[in-house]
Structure formats: C-alpha cells, structure tokens
C-alpha cells in the first residue's frame, strides 16, 4: 500500500532516506510550478472525478473521487519487489536483477530514463489547450486523467534519477522541466513530442498511436535488469491501459458518428452535418501513425543491441520468447529502399531490435483499425480505414530521405509534393476540424461529431457530472 502521510505519496519508504526525501521535496515545487504554467490551461480550480493510486497490487489499486488538479497527489509507486527476480536476457542472463546501477551501464540507463521521462511532461504540454473544446464532460475528465498520470510518469523517472544517479540525476531532473514541447531553443527530445495536438481528433489519434509507443517502450523497460526501473514501468503500464482505452474508444466513437451521418445523408461530405469525413480521419491516422513509427529509432541500431546485451532493455514479452534470449547467432531481415526499389537484407538479430519492437507495435495498432472497420461494416459502408505503409512520411530510419505513398509505392519528390495534402492533414482539414471543436459541458451531452460511450467511468452513468462546472 501507498503512504499518503508525507508531502510525496510513495511506496518506497521515502521517509527512511532523508537526503533523497529532501531532494525530491525541493524538486516538487518546480514540478507544481511547471504544472501551473504549462499544464492544462482551464478547469484549474474545478473538481474533477479522477482516479488516484492507493495500492499497486492486482486488485483494486485505484480510488475514484473529486479532486482539483493542482491538489492531485502525484507520487512514487513501484510494483512489488520480487526478491528472486533474475535477468532474463543478454550477457547477464540468470544473474540476480540489479538493485543499484552498475557503473558500466550508468550512462545508458540514465539516457533511457531521461528519454522516457522527457515524453511524459511533453504530452501534457501538447494537450494543454484541449480543455477549452472537449466534446463532453466525460471526455474532459478522461483528458485530465491522462494528463495527471503523465505527470506522475514524470515523477516516476525523476525518482529514479534522484535516487540512483546523484548529481547528474538531479541536473537531468531539472532539465526535464526546462525542455518544452515545440520550444525553439530547448525542444523535447523525440520528434513526435514537439508536434502540436490542436484538436480532439488529434488527441484520440495521439493516445492511440503515440501512447501506444509508450506501452511498448515501457514493456521493454519492464524487462530491464535494473529492478527499480522494471518495477516502475510495470506499474506505469497499468495506468497506460486507460490511455490506450481513451484512444481506441475515442476514434471508435468518432467513426460511429461518421458512419451514421454518411448513411443518413448518403454522402461522404458530412462536414456540413457536423461530422468528420472519413477521408479526413484517414489523413489524421496517417500522420499520427507515421510520426509514432519514428519513435522506434533506426531499424538497425548498435544502441539497441548494446541495451539488450547489457540487460538494460529487453524485448516485448521477453520472458515468453522461445529463443535463447541472447541472440548472438541469430539473423533477421530488414527491408529498406535502394536504387528506387524495396530490398531485403539479412542482418544480425541483435542489431534489429528496434525493428522487432516496431513490428510488434504495428500488429497491435492493427487491432484498433480492425475494430473501427467493424463499425463501418456494420453500417453497410464499403469504406475502410487502414494503416499506411511503414515507409510513409518517415523522418527516422531506412525510409527517411525516400518518399513512399500510403499504399507502398516509392515516388519522387515532385509526386510527393503534389500529392501529400491528400495523405496528410492539410491546413483545410485542420480548420475544418477546428470549426467542429466547440465545448459541450452539459452532463450527458455530446458534440455533433462523436457518439457517446456505451458506459461511463467507474460504473458511473454516462451523464454523471465528471467535471463540476461552476
């Protein structure tokens, strides 16, 4: 269970380490200042129906109640320690998991924790204006739930930096609040986290595709030989499940509404009837999928090989894999573009672990697309959504520097420039979506472009006042 008696809720016995406690307590006001300045711009004083972690076990870890966001109890929650845990992969396979950071892996671990930590506040910054235009109180509450949990994920990484990386760790923790999404001078580290999230369609796509990168990266860090990191990520993944839900069901409800309007008016052009056209949804999907694919790094990466061999990062579902978990003699194939054509090369499996993870991610992304297409099918429509080709709109890895259309045709610069507005959200698309983004803040009412959910949060009715207005 979690100790809520001190300034910082935790289940790591923070009160037994005064130095660490003081260091974190002096970082806390910086965090709160950042939340005030760069967190949600509206509803700062309202009661929001939020869940807070009360324990980390399988059953009943969350408590739901009204809370004002600045009073949210952000804290440090690690999954329970398994004293027997051994390292599952790499050259230290079978050895006990590390409770402290080995000097040899200090730089790698610090880098991974910093990159992970950087994404969490970035997403809060990206989403800070969305409270002005939510399609319902239910959705507004879900936005804020995601925001406070991303804030807590920052705490999770800051704890590791303070507890295990000394002076450097404290400096890195400061920098996590200093870099800001889209900032000209000190932007966030990874590309997708400097893109704006201007509207609610972008928000659902972001939580579907970009939070899902989080799910998969956390899944690999959950396998880390560094046990405190593994345990932190294990608990973060429980919170992450709700972020996946927000994305999957958000897009689902938009598609339901779109399908209904297409049938009712017998046209694809449903914008005049207050709906989001399917072709526009596809362009948003194309964008968010492709920038999220970039988050996996290069297909072949010596960083990734070293992380795996050293033990600092595993693979998705490492312990369920049926190989030797060392991969020293294994090969795999990587596709790239050469002389205007796709080619496939054999490479050491160790070098292609970013691709291994990305392929798992793509398979998972497809589950939602199938689900959304069932909505279209049930409505008797022939249209379908799809994931664009893996080479489409890529800035990182083997496809960067080439142009591939969503269907997988390699095209030249001129063709790309001429046609990209049909594949990616255009300025017109963004202003069309913006024109629909009017707040709907009566309990149980929903904007014209989205269906209500079938059930509410925590068994409350859909018309429950999830945010108390006025």
193 burial class (0-12, 13-18, 19+ CB within 10 angstroms)?
Answer: buried
Query: Among residues 227 and 294, whose Cβ is nearest to ligand BYC?
Result: 294
Chain-centre distance of CA 376, in angstroms? 26
Helix (H, G, I), strand (E, B) or coil at 199: coil
Angle at Cα 85 formed by Cα 84 and Cα 91, nearest 5°? 130
391 CB neighbour count, 10 Å cutoff: 24
**Partner touching 154 among ligand BYC, Fe ion, none, CB below 5 to 8 Å by kind:** none
Q: Which residue is nearest to ligand BYC (CB)?
A: 297
Rounded to 10 degrees, the C-alpha dihedral 139/141/145/148 comes to 120
Residues 6+ apart with CB under 8 A from 26: none
Rounded to 10 degrees, the C-alpha dihedral 450/206/220/142 comes to -50
Choose, by CB under 6 A, the member of 354, 356, 389, 429 that binds ligand BYC.
Answer: 354
Choose, by CB under 6 A, the member of 76, 112, 156, 160 that binds ligand BYC.
Answer: 112
Query: Among residues 75 and 214, whose Cβ is nearest to ligand BYC?
Result: 214
**Partner touching 194 among Fe ion, ligand BYC, none, CB below 5 to 8 Å by kind:** none
- Minimal distance in Å, beta carbon 149 to ligand BYC? 9
Q: Which two tokens stand for residue 44?
A: 């700062």
**Partner touching 136 among Fe ion, ligand BYC, none, CB below 5 to 8 Å by kind:** none
- Binding mask 216-255 toward ligand BYC (x if CB under 6 A, else -) reads -x--------------------------------------
Q: Is 133 in the site for ligand BYC (CB under 6 A)?
A: no
- Binding mask 381-420 toward ligand BYC (x if CB under 6 A, else -) reads ---------------x------------------------
Query: Among residues 345 and 442, whose Cβ is nearest to ligand BYC?
Result: 345
Choose, by CB under 6 A, the member of 298, 309, 393, 451 that binds ligand BYC.
Answer: 298
Residues 302-321 that bind ligand BYC (CB under 6 A): 303-304
Residues 197-216 that bind ligand BYC (CB under 6 A): 210-211, 213-214
Distance CA 206, CA 243 (A): 10
Q: Is 120 in the site for ligand BYC (CB under 6 A)?
A: yes
Distance CA 122, CA 119 (A): 5
Alpha-carbon distances, residue 156 vs 20, 37, 153, 236 (angstroms): 14, 21, 5, 8
What does R_g of the chain's alpha carbons equal in angstroms? 23
Distance CA 225, CA 96 (A): 8
Query: Among residues 204 and 446, whose Cβ is nearest to ligand BYC?
Result: 204
Binding part of the chain for ligand BYC, among 87-95, 293-301, 321-329, 414-422 by CB under 6 A, reads 293-301
Binding part of the chain for ligand BYC, among 117-125, 133-141, 368-376, 414-422 by CB under 6 A, reads 117-125
Query: Among residues 118 and 211, whose Cβ is nearest to Fe ion?
Result: 211
- Minimal distance in Å, beta carbon 93 to Fe ion? 11
Q: Is 158 in the site for ligand BYC (CB under 6 A)?
A: no
**Partner touching 247 among Fe ion, ligand BYC, none, CB below 5 to 8 Å by kind:** none
- Binding mask 173-192 toward ligand BYC (x if CB under 6 A, else -) reads -----------------xx-
Distance CA 356, CA 60 (A): 34
- Minimal distance in Å, beta carbon 214 to Fe ion? 5
**Partner touching 210 among Fe ion, ligand BYC, none, CB below 5 to 8 Å by kind:** ligand BYC
Distance CA 245, CA 301 (A): 31
Distance CA 424, CA 407 (A): 13
Q: Concatenate the DSSP letters of all residues of 109-133 into one string.
A: HHHHHHHHHHHHHHHHHHTTTGGGS
Alpha-carbon distances, residue 292 vs 116, 209, 318 (angstroms): 14, 6, 22
Backbone dihedral angles phi then psi of residue 448, each to the nearest 5 degrees: -65, -20
Q: Is 119 in the site for ligand BYC (CB under 6 A)?
A: yes
Q: Which two tokens stand for residue 306?
A: 């070293």
Chain-centre distance of CA 374, in angstroms? 25
Q: Is 115 in the site for ligand BYC (CB under 6 A)?
A: yes
Binding footprint of Fe ion on the chain (CB under 5 A): 120, 150, 153, 211, 214, 243
* Chain residues that interact with ligand BYC, rule: CB under 6 A: 112, 115-116, 119-120, 123, 150, 190-191, 210-211, 213-214, 217, 294-298, 301, 303-304, 354, 396
């Amino acid at each position: 269970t979690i100790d809520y008696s001190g300034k910082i809720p935790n289940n790591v016995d923070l009160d037994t380490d005064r130095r660490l406690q003081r260091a974190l307590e002096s970082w806390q006001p910086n965090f709160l200042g950042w939340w005030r300045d760069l967190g949600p711009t509206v509803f700062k004083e309202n009661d929001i129906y939020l869940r807070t972690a009360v324990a980390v076990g399988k059953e009943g870890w969350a408590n739901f109640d009204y809370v004002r966001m600045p009073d949210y109890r952000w804290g440090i929650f690690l999954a329970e320690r398994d004293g027997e845990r051994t390292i599952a992969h790499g050259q230290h396979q079978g050895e006990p998991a590390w409770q402290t950071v080995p000097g040899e892996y200090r730089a790698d671990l610090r880098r991974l924790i910093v990159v992970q930590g950087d994404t969490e506040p970035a997403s809060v910054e990206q989403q800070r204006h969305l409270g002005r235009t939510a399609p319902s109180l239910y959705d507004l509450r879900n936005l804020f739930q995601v925001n406070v949990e991303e804030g807590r994920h920052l705490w999770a990484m800051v704890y590791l930096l303070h507890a295990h990386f000394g002076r450097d760790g404290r400096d890195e923790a400061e920098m996590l609040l200093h870099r800001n999404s889209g900032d000209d001078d000190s932007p966030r580290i990874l590309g997708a986290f400097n893109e704006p999230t201007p509207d609610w369609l972008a928000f659902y796509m972001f939580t579907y595709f970009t939070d899902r990168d989080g799910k998969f990266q956390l899944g690999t860090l959950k396998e880390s030989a560094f046990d405190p990191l593994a345990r932190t990520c294990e608990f973060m993944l429980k919170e992450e499940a709700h972020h996946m839900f927000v994305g999957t069901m958000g897009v689902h409800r938009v598609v339901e509404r779109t399908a209904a309007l297409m049938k009712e008016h017998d046209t694809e052009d449903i914008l005049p009837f207050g709906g989001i056209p399917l072709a526009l949804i596809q362009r948003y999907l194309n964008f968010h999928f492709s920038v999220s694919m970039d988050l996996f790094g290069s297909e072949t990466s010596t960083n990734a090989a070293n992380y795996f061999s050293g033990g600092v990062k595993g693979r998705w579902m490492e312990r369920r894999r049926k190989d030797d978990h060392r991969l020293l003699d294994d090969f795999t194939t990587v596709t790239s573009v050469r002389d205007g054509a796709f080619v496939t090369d054999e490479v050491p499996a160790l070098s292609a672990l970013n691709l291994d993870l990305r392929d798992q991610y793509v398979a998972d992304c497809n589950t939602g697309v199938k689900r959304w297409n069932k909505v279209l099918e049930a409505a008797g429509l022939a249209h379908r959504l799809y994931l664009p080709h893996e080479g489409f709109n890529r800035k990182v890895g083997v496809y960067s520097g080439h142009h591939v259309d969503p269907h997988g045709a390699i095209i030249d610069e001129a063709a790309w420039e001429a046609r990209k507005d049909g594949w990616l959200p255009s300025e017109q698309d963004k202003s069309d979506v913006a024109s629909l983004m009017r707040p709907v803040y009566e309990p149980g009412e929903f904007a014209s472009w989205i269906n209500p959910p079938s059930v509410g949060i925590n068994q409350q009715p859909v018309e429950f006042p999830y945010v108390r207005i006025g």
